[in-house]
Structure formats: C-alpha cells, structure tokens
Amino acid sequence: MPAVPGRTLVAYDLLILSKGARAAFGGPRDRLLLLIAAPLLLLIAIEGAGSVSATLGEVPAPGRMLAAMLAGLAPNLAIGRRLAHLREHSAVAAAALRREAAAAYAIFWNAFPACLAMALFLAGTGSVAEAAALAPPLLLSYAAGAAAAFAARRAHAAARLGLARRRAARGERRPLRLTAPSRRRRVADLIASRTGLPRLPLGANMLAFTALGALATASSLLIHADPGRAEAFAALAFLLLFALLLRQQAAVLRYLLFLGDAPAGAALVPLALAGSLAVGAVAAAAGTGLGKPALAAAAALLAFAAAALLRGLHHAVRPRRAADLAIHLDFAAFLVAGIVLPWLALPLLAVRLFLLHRQAQTLRHIAP
Amino acid sequence: MSLSFALQDVAVERAGVLAVRGVSYANDAAGWIGIVGANGSGKTSLLRALAGRLPIRSGRILIGGAELGRDRAARAAAIGFAVDAAMLPGELTPREVFAISARARDAVDAPALARLREALGIDAFLDQTCGTLSAGMGQRVALFAACLDLPRIVILDEPFNWLDPLTAYDVKAALRGLVAAEDLTLVTALHEVATLTACCSRGLLMADGRIALTIEQDELRAGLSDPTGFEAEMIARLRGARG
C-alpha cells in the first residue's frame, strides 16, 4: 500500500497533542476542574459563535471575504512555524522536508479552522442558495490568507536574515548557546529575542518599560479627551502589554527553572518589567484626573503576579505544550468563575496556586 | 557496503554569519570521523547541513555519488541524525519516539543494534515520558533514535555529553562495533581528544568555519602511546588554527 503523504507528521503531532492533553489532566483535581469548566466553556463558545455569526451575516460580501482571508492567515502562521521546527529539530525531519508531505500536513491542520470559518460565515446567510453561492469565494479567500501566511513567513525570515547579516557586518558576534557570561546577561538575551527589544541588562529594560508605560498613558490622553474613554483605552493598552510580557516569560522561566531556580521565584521575573510599566503609567497619569491610577496599577500588578505564578508553576510541573494548554483552560475557568460566581474566583485561584506550588516543590527535572 | 559522501566548497550561514566557509572533504570508506574544534568553529552547522537539517548557502554535497546539495529531504532520509535531546517531545515515551522515527525513514528496528541498545540502557525507561528524563537519559534516547534503522551514515553531535563514564565507555565500544560490523560511517563532533585517538579512524580539526587539519588514523593511533603529549599537541594546533 503506498504511504499517505504527511501521515507520519500528522500522526506525530496528534500523538503529542493527545498525550499532552492527558498529561494536562492527569490528576484528579485537573479532571474535576475540566469537568466543571468544560460545559461552561462550551456554552460560552456556542453563544459566542451564534453572536459572531449573526454579526457576520450583516457584513457585506467583500467584508466577509476579507474576514475569511484573515481567518486563513492565523492558523497558517502557526503551521509554518511548526513545520520549520519539525524540519530542523525533530526525529521526523525527513518527512517534514518532503514537499508533498508538508503540503498534506498543512491541508490536514487547515481542515478544522477552515470548516469552522465557513460555518460561522455561512450560518448568517438568508438561504441555502445564497450560502452555496458564497462558499467558493469564501474558501478561495481563506486559501489566499493561507498562502499569504506562508509568504509572510518567508518575507519575515528574509528580513531577519538581512538584519543578522548587517549585525554580523558590524562585527557583533552571534550569541552561543549556554556560553553567555552570566545568567543575568542570558535573561536579557532571552527577553530581547522574545520582545525585539535591544539586548540590554535588566535595569536598562526596566527603564525602557517605565518609558513605555508613560507613553501608553500619555497617548491615551491625547487620543481621547473624555477621561472615561481615555481610562478604557489605557486599560486596554496595559492589558495588551501585560499579555505580551506574559508571553515572553515562558522561555525565560523555563531557562531559570533549568538552572535550578525555585518555580515561584522564576515565575515572578517579569514582575519587575510589569512594575516598571505601572510606575511609568502612574507617573504620567498623576494630576490628569484619570480615575485612581495608583490603586488601578496595584490591582493590575496583583493580577499580573497571580497570572505569572500560575504560568510559572504550570511550566514547572508539565511539558511546554501541556503547560500552555492547562494555562489557557485555567484562565478560562477563572474568568467564567469571576463572571458567574465572583466570590468564588479568588479562593479558587489561591487553592489552585497552593496545590501547584506543592506539586512543583517535589520535582527534580523540568519537562522540556 | 559503506556509503560515500563528499563536501565541495560548502558554506553554511547561521544568523547572518558564515558559520562554515568553503569546506571540502571526501569520504569513501566506512569509519568513525571525529570533528574537534572550539565553540563556534562551525562543527554543529556543518553536521546539521550534511544531515539536511540546515540549508547550505553554496557548494555541493554528494552522497553515494548523487548531488544532494539542494535536496535537504534526500539528505535527511539518507543520514541518521541525533536531534538535540532537549528537543525530544516531552509528552512522548522513548518507545513512541523510536516507533515514529523509524516510520519517518520507512525502515524498521535493526537487530544489529542490540549491543548499542544494551549499552545505552534505554529499556529501563522505555515507557517513561521524555519530559521526565534527565539530560543523560534524553541523550541516550536521541542517540538510539539516530541509529534506529541502521542508515549507512550516522551523525552524532557531541554524543557523550551528559553520559555517565560507565555508559559513555560502553556506548563508545558499541559504536566501534557497529562501524566495524555494519560498514557504518559515523561522523561525530567531539570535545575530548582522548575519544578521538581511541575511537576514530580519521580526525578533522575545525577553526573559523574551515577544516584546518585532517588527522589520519596512524597519527591518531600513535597518539595512544602518549595521550598527554598528543592532547597538548592538538591543543597547540587548535590555538594555532584560531590565531
């Protein structure tokens, strides 16, 4: 029987996914949390899908094409990144390097997002005939988005190579793995590689973040004269910045865990940068009549610390992908608890952190 | 029967820098080739490019006489390569990694690997997830996965890192046995001159992305009679090549 192209790659990823999910919900407490959160999340997803679909139904056809194109862009950026990893660092590199296998792999992982996008876009149409007429151009738009994602990856790689060549021409040496002179320098390297910031010491990055916090607050005041709207804009900007800080944290965190730092201590590394952001914001907001900036900053920092701890502890006790999955589900569960039973959310978070911390204390090796 | 390979003026770029600069080398007999050189001298980039894990910027790579410089997939299929142990999927067990590695190259587990398998001691943790293994255990899994279907060329980048002395000793003996019995061409980056003299049939000394010196087997064997003197001589040559 001839081999199906891409079968090895898909089987490899499905095995990792299924075992990752099992690892994420291996303990009875994890399963209990899933049991409570899953039906709620499903209800929210169905409700959300219905409302998105109804909104999309009112959007004219060109708008829907554009949305379908964007829907094709996001998953294919992730697929391209995964394929690049499989080609260089995996035991299935030989399969990932074969053109037809890579194409089959990409088609497989596009099936679900493409079907989901089509269902959302077509559910709001008036009749079956209208849906049938709209489906082919929507699919083509999705495919164009997918192609754009792969083109964007190639362009990004070329741009990065160009930047690296210019740096090399200026005589900057490439950093060697595990030979950086000190841990602090290495952490600065990691922060830089994840955020695109210059490769500066932690103190210099803190100063940069203070300036960024001040800039974000000042810009929100400039954009909106109305204090209420300015506050909302500033809150949104900080939410995004905090989310970006949490995103870059995983690599730093796992490096520190690898070096033997305590999980809680390692998890709170980006708190210094989040704190710098808050200091900048409070300084810029002083005397502008913007709500109670110090109180809002303190609350935001507490929430950030809790989120960072949760991430840190999950990464200490699970492999990377299982940790990512568990973190997303935990965040969703706490969000749902905060909306449905607000008084339960904080005790639930405290218990979760305590249990994870106890589990992390007993570990000898961290999962890669 | 061994599989020949040749590099002709190969250049490999890493992060905008030419990590390998015009390397030419031909190998037409089975044996153990040891590559030594300072950190950043281009050993890993050369080995990854040969195994298809990295593209080459220029030059030609011939495997079994066929030009595969632009065909990374064919190089990866022809050559066994040990992945970085830290890149093993933490969710899978070594048994699952082996099953999928063998399938990727359309081959099956070879009985000739029994001695290597025993030396690596992997049966003790075959069903433990890779995420729970120590660095040394992970390294053993990566080494065995590279040899799984007994390709004619196997590339191992610093294979004895993290291995305990007992395991390292047994693994070296098992690899020497494989090279002799199976006509295997084994290419390894090494950081120990002692392994180079004791195990290798040819040594390559790399500096600044180039092969600065080729050391033949008789010279390596002569080094066994005075290991300290030989090591001192190699270090002096390395310093000279970098200077």
Residue A174: per-residue pLDDT: 44
Dihedral sign from CA coordinates of A102, A106, A109, A111: negative
- Compute the distance between CA of residue B204 and CA of residue B196 in angstroms, rounded to an integer: 10
Average pLDDT across chain B, whole number: 90
Helix-strand-coil split of chain B, %, nearest 5 = 45, 25, 30
The answer, for A3 touching chain B at a CB cutoff of 8 Å, is yes
Q: Residues A158-207: pLDDT tens digits?
A: 888 887 777 677 665 444 443 334 555 666 666 666 555 556 666 777 78
Q: What is the mean pLDDT of chain A?
A: 78
Judge whether A204 is closer than 8 Å to chain B, CB to CB.
no
What pTM, to 2 d.p., does this model score? 0.70
Q: What is the pLDDT of residues A215-226, one digit of tens each?
A: 877 777 666 666
What 3-state DSSP class applies to A317? Answer: helix
User: What average pLDDT does range B96-123 have in this prediction?
Assistant: 79
Q: Percentage of chain B with pLDDT > 90? A: 64
Q: Tell me the nearest-neighbour CA distance from A83 into chain B, angstroms.
A: 12
Q: Is B173 on the interface with A (CB under 8 A)?
A: no
CA distances from A131 to A47, A126, A136, A156, A291 (A): 21, 8, 9, 36, 49
Whole-number pLDDT of residue A224: 62
- Residue B60 at interface with chain A, using a CB cutoff of 8 Å: no
What number of CA atoms fall less than 13 Å from residue A124's CA on the CB side? 17
The pLDDT score that the predictor gives to residue B126 is 92
Inform me whether the pLDDT recorded for B10 exceeds 50.
yes
At residue A368, the pLDDT reads 44
CB contact under 8 A, B72 and A3: no
Amino acid symbol at A173: R
Name the residue among A66, A67, A49 with its Cα closest to residue A116.
Answer: A49
Mean pLDDT value across residues B40-68: 94
SS3 A291: coil
**DSSP code string of B161-195:** TT--HHHHHHHHHHHHHHHHHHT-EEEEEES-HHH
Supply the pLDDT for residue B3.
Answer: 74
- The pLDDT score that the predictor gives to residue B9 is 94
Of the candidates A223, A204, A241, A218, which has an alpha carbon nearest to the alpha carbon of residue A293?
Answer: A218
pLDDT (0 to 100) of residue A320: 75
Chain B hits for A315, Cβ within 8 Å = none
Those residues whose C-beta lies under 8 Å from the C-beta of residue B87, and which sit 6 or more positions away, are A89, A90, A368
pLDDT at B106 over 50: no
Instruction: Please compute the mean of the pLDDT values over residues B87-92 and round it to a whole number.
Output: 89
CB–CB contact A8 B103 (8 Å): yes
| Whole-number pLDDT of residue B62 | 95
Q: Is the pLDDT of residue B12 over 50?
A: yes
**Mean pLDDT across the stretch B182-191?**
93
Strand ranges (E), B28-167: 31-37, 58-63, 66-67, 79-81, 153-157
Compute the C-alpha angle A18/A22/A26, nearest 5°.
Answer: 175
What would the mean pLDDT of A332-348 be, rounded to a whole number? Answer: 78
Which residue in A154, A322, A183 sits closest to A266, CA to CA?
A: A183
Tell whether the model's pLDDT for residue B94 goes beyond 80.
yes
Whether the CB of B161 is below 8 Å from some CB of chain A: the reply is: no
pLDDT digits (tens, 9 = 90+) for B138-180: 999 999 999 988 889 999 999 999 899 999 999 999 999 999 9
Sheet holding B79-81, edge to edge: B79-81, B153-157, B185-190, B31-37, B202-207, B210-216
Which residues, at least 6 apart from A20, have a Cβ–Cβ distance to it below 8 Å?
A: A319, A321, A322, A325, B91
Question: According to the model, what pLDDT value does residue A1 have?
Answer: 45
Query: Which pairs with CB-CB distance under 8 Å and at least 24 residues apart come from A45-48?
Result: none
Q: Grade residue B66 by pLDDT with cuts at 50, 70 and 90.
A: very high
Q: Read off the tokens for B91.
A: 């969710």
Give residue A233's pLDDT: 67
Percent of chain A with pLDDT over 70: 79
Reported as a single tens digit per residue, the pLDDT across A247-289 is 656 677 777 777 667 777 777 777 877 888 888 877 777 766 6
Tokens describing residue B11:
């250049």
User: What pLDDT shows up at residue B239?
Assistant: 82
DSSP B9: E
- The answer to whether A105 touches A9, Cβ cutoff 8 Å, is yes
Bigger pLDDT: B125 or A297? B125
Closest residue in B to A92 (Cα) is: B104
Q: Which residue shows structure tokens 């690049």? A: A84
How confident is the model over B32-55, as a mean pLDDT? 94
Q: What is the pLDDT of residue A362?
A: 64
CB atoms within 10 A of CB A92: 23
- Per residue in A4-53, pLDDT (tens digit) is 778 889 999 999 989 888 877 777 777 777 787 777 777 777 777 777 77
Contact B202, B36 (CB under 8 A): no
Q: What percent of chain B has pLDDT over 70?
A: 95
Q: Give me the helices (H) in chain A, please.
A: 7-24, 28-57, 61-89, 93-96, 99-123, 128-169, 183-195, 202-223, 227-259, 263-267, 271-285, 293-317, 320-340, 342-361
- Model pLDDT, residue A363: 60
Check CB contact under 8 Å for A367 and B132: yes
Q: Place B97 in a pLDDT band, splitting at 50, 70 and 90.
A: very high
For residues B79 and B148, the answer to whether their CB atoms sit within 8 Å is no
Mean pLDDT is lowest, of A129-138, A358-367, B37-46, for A358-367
Examine the pLDDT at A235 and tell me if it is beyond 90. Answer: no
With CA atoms as reference, the chain A residue closest to B81 would be A91
* Confidence band of A345 (pLDDT split at 50, 70, 90): confident
Say how far apart CA B136 and CA B158 lie, in whole Å.
12
**Chain A contacts of B54, Cβ < 8 Å?**
88
Averaged over A121-142, what is the pLDDT?
85
Q: Can you give the pLDDT at residue A331?
A: 81
Which chain B residues are closer than 8 Å to A103 by Cβ? Answer: none
The model's confidence at residue A227, banded by pLDDT at 50, 70 and 90, is low
Q: Are B102 and B109 in contact (CB under 8 A)?
A: yes
Q: What is the ipTM of this complex?
A: 0.90
Residue B231 has pLDDT above 70, yes or no: yes
Q: In this predicted model, what pLDDT tens digit does every residue of B129-149 receive, in sequence order?
A: 998 888 899 999 999 999 988
Q: Which residue has the tokens 């075992």?
A: A19
Q: With beta carbons less than 8 A apart as the criterion, state whether B40 and B210 touch.
A: no
Optimal mutation site among B100, B133, B147, interface A, most CBs of chain A within 10 A: B100
